[in-house]
Amino acid sequence: MKLPPFEYACPAALSEAVALLAAHNGEAKLIAGGQSLVPMLAFRLAAPALLVDLRKLPELRKIEISGNGLVLGSMVRWCDILADARLRVAHPLLTAAVDHVAHYQIRNRGTIGGSVAHADPAAEMPGIVLTCEAEIATVATAGPRVIRAADFFLGPLMTVLEPDEIIVDIRFPAWPPQRRWGFQEFARRRGDFAMAAAAVWYDQDAGGKARNAHVGVIGVGDRPQRLQQVEAVLNASAIDDATIAQAEAAASAAVDPQTDIHASADYRRALVGTMVERALKMSRNGGGKS
């Protein structure tokens, strides 16, 4: 399918990219890996007058690991994350989720910033940034700002980003090595978008009870969701079979998915409970493959 016509710019400075977006007053779009935008153009779901390519901006490709956490530039690709052995230690939940993103070819171009900006409700990374309380640092004509992931997603393919705003990097809080976590996803084929997925993490007190539990799900609503009801089940409890059964039931009860061409609402409700159950069982082994 042919794309609609557009002008193309490939600025060598971030300020130039912002100025181009601002000058086009909502009629320009950024292109990062193009793995979501190009299909949108092909299907005429978007027809911007100008594409502003971010590929000549090396400052958007940084991967920084420090005691304060992890900073991933918006142009960091899925393959960059999977190839960096340090990240499996610095943020094992993040890398486990990226293992499920798309297929080989797409992972060579698709970027973390593009995924978060695109805000597909079934995409892994919006769910991970939400569950991990990451922050999204941006720049626009109005200046830089830092947006909490909890405030970022408004609905399917909708975020708080302004038309002239560019994600610069995504900041994840430090991940203690002893933290328990699990990630489970169900998709029709490996690499397809999730029918449902769950990310869980918690710390443990001296008695082995969970505290600071975080549970996030994707594919079962119009945006990624934290499930506070499930977190309440986990906090101050041992993650034993009884707690996991309670958490599974709470997860199914907490979501309100729609029936669509892929699955009924009831199926997805049951599935998300199973994903939470499996993620918690995985967490008992300290994460890793279940």
Q: For binding to ligand FAD (CB under 6 A), which residues are involved?
A: 29-37, 39, 54, 74, 101-102, 106, 109-111, 113-115, 117-118, 123-125, 161, 166-167, 191-193
Q: How far is the CB of 60 from ligand FAD (least distance, A)?
A: 7
In the complex with ligand FAD, which residue's Cβ is closer, 74 or 283? 74
* Token code pair at residue 59: 């400052």
State the DSSP string of 258-282: PP-SS--HHHHHHHHHHHHHHHHHH
Q: How far is the CB of 284 from ligand FAD (least distance, A)?
A: 26
In the complex with ligand FAD, which residue's Cβ is closer, 169 or 277? 169
Instruction: Say which DSSP state 195 is in.
Output: S
The two beta strands, 7-9 and 50-53, are parallel
What contacts 56, CB < 8 A, 6 or more positions away? 10, 11, 12
Q: How far is the CB of 73 from ligand FAD (least distance, A)?
A: 9
Q: How far is the CB of 141 from ligand FAD (least distance, A)?
A: 14
Q: How far is the CB of 37 from ligand FAD (least distance, A)?
A: 3
Alpha-carbon distance 116 to 22, whole Å?
A: 21
Residue that the structure tokens 């059964």 belong to: 245
What contacts 65, CB < 8 A, 6 or more positions away? 86, 87, 90
In the complex with ligand FAD, which residue's Cβ is closer, 69 or 191? 191
In the complex with ligand FAD, which residue's Cβ is closer, 52 or 230? 52
Gap between the terminal Cα atoms of the chain: 41
Q: How far is the CB of 24 from ligand FAD (least distance, A)?
A: 12
Tell me the C-alpha to C-alpha distance, in Å, between residue 94 and each of 14, 90, 97, 216.
Answer: 27, 9, 5, 13
Q: How far is the CB of 207 from ligand FAD (least distance, A)?
A: 38
Alpha-carbon distance 116 to 102, whole Å?
A: 15
In the complex with ligand FAD, which residue's Cβ is closer, 40 or 270? 40
In the complex with ligand FAD, which residue's Cβ is closer, 95 or 237? 95
Give the residue among 124, 145, 146, 123 at the shortest CA–CA distance from 135.
Answer: 146
In the complex with ligand FAD, which residue's Cβ is closer, 115 or 131? 115
Alpha-carbon distance 217 to 222, whole Å?
A: 11
Q: Is there a contact between 73 and 84 (Cβ–Cβ < 8 Å)?
A: no
